[in-house]
Structure 1
Amino acid sequence: MENGSKDDLPKIGITIGDLNGIGTEVIIKSLIDNRMTKQFTPVIYGSTKTLSFYRKAMNVDNFNYTHVKNDNDFIPKKINVVNVWDHPVEINMGKSTSEGGEYAFKALEKAVNDAKEGHIDALVTAPINKHNIQQDDFDFPGHTEYLANRCDVKNELMFLVSDELRVAVMTGHIPLKDVAGKLSKEKIIDKLEVMISSLKHDFGIKKPRIAVMGLNPHAGEMGLLGDEEENIISPAIIELKNKGNLVFGPYPADGFFGTASFKKYDAILAMYHDQGLIPFKTLAFETGVNFTAGLPIIRTSPDHGTAYDIVGKNQADPTSMMQAIFTAIDIVKNRKEYSTFESAPLNEENPSKG
């Protein structure tokens, strides 16, 4: 990543997450090296009091930040903190409390507003507790569904990405018994089109190769173990192939991942949560990033939870948070490049446009 001037550094918003989880710790660890602010302008949404509490708990003296006193007046090459609240809030490290969820939502709401208004270029969300954050304005299974609702998007895609692997899921946070009923040819086509668009716009892959998993064991065994592959999944793949897309499958997930066939593809569409996330987290647990594709705003997140059991022990690994930040920066760059390419006139220097 090349250093930019003060004016063109991307502004990356970072929400503090559950106050009692490891979010603040991994944020501090990710940003403590001053070389980070030469690459982008961090904007932390939360509270300087919370940061001060964790800085003391971690015995960190060299983590400095500036309080943003005027809305959106972010200072390049400094760690900016937006005080979403000013009053003291009780922090109970490692415990799920109503305050932890309440203030995680306050930070998220402010950051999403700023992202939608273009004040920040991308959003990185620290982990929340999906239970204690529930309230009148957050009645969703997680970040992904909330962000889709705020952005008025009906077909978002939970995309787990790393340097080695990109996996998306057809169905996210729903019971396994409901998965088959949520599948249709049209829905699979919609998700694959979001994936194809994201791979082009967000990851700079001009002609992506995509593998689609089957739903049933052995991908249905030609109808013996289930007919969703023959009646729903294969017809969707064929239709997209006929439109010139490189989409293949359906493949049995066990053999596909067991033989490392994923290395031949730019991305994989799994049919349900664990089918995609178990192999992903096995292969890329510390470096994986959760990216919400299909949104007008850019949002990434570390691929771990609040980890209450290690809060305050200085054991939290910041690698996934750092990868989430770098992925967000790369997507900001890729979207700008794609937009520039699309708006450029067709000429001798740009013969492949379109």
Structure 2
Amino acid sequence: MRKAENVIVGISIGDLNGIGGEIVLKTLEDVRMLEFFTPVIFASVKTITFLKNHFDLDISFNGINNLDQIITGKINVFNVWNDRVDINFGQEDMVIGEFAIKSLFAATKALKEGAIDVLVTAPINKQTIQSEAFNFPGHTDYLAQELDGESLMFMVSNDLRIGLLTDHVPVKDIANNITPQLIESKVNTVYTSLQKDFNIRRPKIAVLGINPHTGDNGVIGKEDDEIMRPTLKALNDNGKLVYGPYAADSFFGSGNYKNFDAIIAAYHDQGLIPFKTLSFGSGVNYTAGLSKIRTSPDHGTAFEIAGKGEANINSFKEAVFLALKLYENRMENAELSKNPLVTPQKKI
């Protein structure tokens, strides 16, 4: 396993008109960060120089054109492009969206090839990234295609982990998308991630209901009784500590979430609203279930404050440290699987 400073953290720059560049560089301005990992920013020296000067940051970096030129203990900037980029903070711009995708493509390729160990993505704008080359709602769906496994949006903070059955799905389509197969797949992904990534040997998981009051015995909807309950019972009967469905309206206010290692919400806002209420600014979006580790801050491009020097770096910093911790846990588990403890035979 690599020493801490030798772990290579790839960083996709996100939407350059948003706060991504600011939070990345402000995080790395603290030279102590380089004691924990070696960063590689996927952008260009010209672009990073512009951002450094705009925000008046005391930061130096090593420009590279090949990933074998990475210098440990330095901030490395991989030149994905050499074009001049016209950055207009706070503006939606399809051309800027193309640069965000170029950065993501290059970083993902490096991750797949093992040139970087983990990927941390700065926020993108979901509208300006759309093109013939990129037809996905966001990072998660693209990475699910590129990296092996069953992807799951997993929101993580110190004492709260929330996964989603459905993520970027219109509200009108949620119930039709939730099937026994989907529930089983997502529960298994969360369960495996808790074991492999978070070192929780016997995870305890709560699942929230689809309908208000979990359908009130079919009065407000039958999906919880006909789909959710039988599937969760079958999973529980097979040995997984999976419970629910729980009524979402009281689950967090009552503090019941503290009794579980993870919660699975039926849809995006059911999970993200309580998560961001309880953890905003310190939470991390982790794409669980993939062959490689990817994290991101729990916020978007924040166009309204972009370029003003007001962005909070805490969530991005937490995303970096979570990626490092998950990488360490995976490496330790891989080593243990190669050298399992031998149970002494009982003497007769």
Q: Same fold (TM over 0.5)?
A: yes
Which residue does 1:71 correspond to in 2?
A: 67
Which residue does 2:220 correspond to in 1?
A: 225
Structure 1 counterpart SS, 2:69: coil
What letter is aligned with 1:38? E
Which residue does 1:142 correspond to in 2?
A: 138
Which residue does 2:152 correspond to in 1?
A: 157
The one of 192, 199, 207 aligned to 2:202: 207
Deviations 1:206-263 (A, max 9, x none): 1111000001111111222111111111111111111111111110011111101111
Q: Does 1:344 align with 2:347?
A: no
Which residue does 1:16 correspond to in 2?
A: 13
TM-score, with structure 1 as normaliser? 0.94
Partner Cα separation in structure 2 for residue 234 and residue 326 of structure 1: 37
Structure 2 counterpart SS, 1:324: helix
Partner Cα separation in structure 2 for residue 160 and residue 124 of structure 1: 14
Q: Does 1:172 align with 2:189?
A: no
TM-score, with structure 2 as normaliser? 0.96
| Larger CA deviation: 42-51 vs 18-27 | 42-51
Partner Cα separation in structure 1 for residue 241 and residue 157 of structure 2: 21
Partner Cα separation in structure 1 for residue 211 and residue 62 of structure 2: 53
Unmatched 5+ residue regions in structure 2?
none
RMSD of Structure 2 on Structure 1 (CA): 1.6
Which residue does 2:129 correspond to in 1?
A: 133
In 1, are the aligned partners of 2:206 and 2:264 still within 8 Å (CA)?
yes
Which residue does 2:26 correspond to in 1?
A: 29
In 2, are the aligned partners of 1:16 and 1:104 still within 8 Å (CA)?
yes
| Larger CA deviation: 83-92 vs 283-292 | 83-92
Superposed displacement of residue 7, structure 1: 8.0
Partner Cα separation in structure 1 for residue 209 and residue 295 of structure 2: 27
Deviations 1:95-130 (A, max 9, x none): 111121000000000000000011111000000010
The one of 87, 90, 102 aligned to 1:91: 87
Superposed displacement of residue 72, structure 1: 3.1
Structure 1 counterpart SS, 2:231: helix
Superposed displacement of residue 135, structure 1: 1.0
What letter is aligned with 2:247? P
In 2, are the aligned partners of 1:22 and 1:316 still within 8 Å (CA)?
yes
Deviations 1:280-321 (A, max 9, x none): 000011011001111111100001111111011110000000
What letter is aligned with 1:36? M
In 2, are the aligned partners of 1:6 and 1:76 still within 8 Å (CA)?
no
Superposed displacement of residue 28, structure 1: 0.8
What letter is aligned with 1:291? Y
Q: Does 1:317 align with 2:312?
A: yes
Which residue does 1:42 correspond to in 2?
A: 39
Distance 1:69 1:343, change over 3 A: same
Partner Cα separation in structure 2 for residue 233 and residue 306 of structure 1: 35
| Larger CA deviation: 301-310 vs 47-56 | 47-56
Distance 1:164 1:346, change over 3 A: closer
Superposed displacement of residue 9, structure 1: 2.3
Partner Cα separation in structure 1 for residue 159 and residue 343 of structure 2: 35
Aligned length: 345
Which residue does 1:352 correspond to in 2?
A: none
Distance 1:139 1:92, change over 3 A: same
Matches within 5 A, 1:193-204: 193-204=188-199
Partner Cα separation in structure 2 for residue 152 and residue 343 of structure 1: 21
Structure 2 counterpart SS, 1:294: strand
Superposed displacement of residue 73, structure 1: 2.5
Which residue does 1:261 correspond to in 2?
A: 256
The one of 82, 95, 101 aligned to 2:78: 82
Which residue does 1:252 correspond to in 2?
A: 247
Distance 1:190 1:321, change over 3 A: same
In 1, are the aligned partners of 2:194 and 2:200 still within 8 Å (CA)?
yes
In 2, are the aligned partners of 1:47 and 1:84 still within 8 Å (CA)?
yes
The one of 232, 235, 254 aligned to 1:237: 232
Superposed displacement of residue 143, structure 1: 0.4
Q: Does 1:116 align with 2:133?
A: no
What letter is aligned with 1:136? E
